[in-house]
Every structure is written in structure tokens, then in C-alpha cells.
Amino acid sequence: MWSLKNEDPEFMAYMEAFMASTQHLGGCSACQEEQPCGVGEPIHAEFIARQDAWMERRRAEGKKP
């Protein structure tokens, strides 16, 4: 679990998705070849979607991501 104290649930979901993606990538040779495996594809897609949503919201608020 992400240990940074943060009150932003969208950011926390983004960081949890990042951790899941990097953990999977670290142990999956197929995903390391930039061709996500069947298990890794939804994990990586979730990370990208959460990252995009958080960054879009920050920009809409006039803040830097």
C-alpha cells in the first residue's frame, strides 16, 4: 500500500495502480518487451487511465500535475 499521507482519493488510486503495474512489470518478461501479456494488459491500462484522469483534473484546477 502507498504510505504517503494524501487526502486525494483519486491520487491514491493512481499510485496504487502505478504500484500494481510496476510490480507486474518487474516479474513478467512478456510485458518487459512492450507487448503486455493477457494479465498485464488490464493492469497497465488501469494505471494509464488513472494517471490520465488525475493529470486532467489537476490541469482543470489550474495546478501542475
pTM greater than 0.85: no
Please choose, from the candidates 55, 60, 61, the residue with its C-alpha nearest in 3D space to the C-alpha of residue 18. Answer: 55
Band of the pLDDT at 15, cuts 50, 70, 90?
A: very high
pLDDT for residue 2 is more than 90: no
Q: Please answer whether residues 17 and 10 qualify as being in contact, where contact means their C-beta atoms are separated by less than 8 angstroms.
A: no
pLDDT value of residue 8? 86
The secondary structure of residue 61, as a DSSP letter, is T
pLDDT for residue 4 is more than 60: no
State how far the Cα of 45 lies from the Cα of 43, in Å rounded to an integer: 5
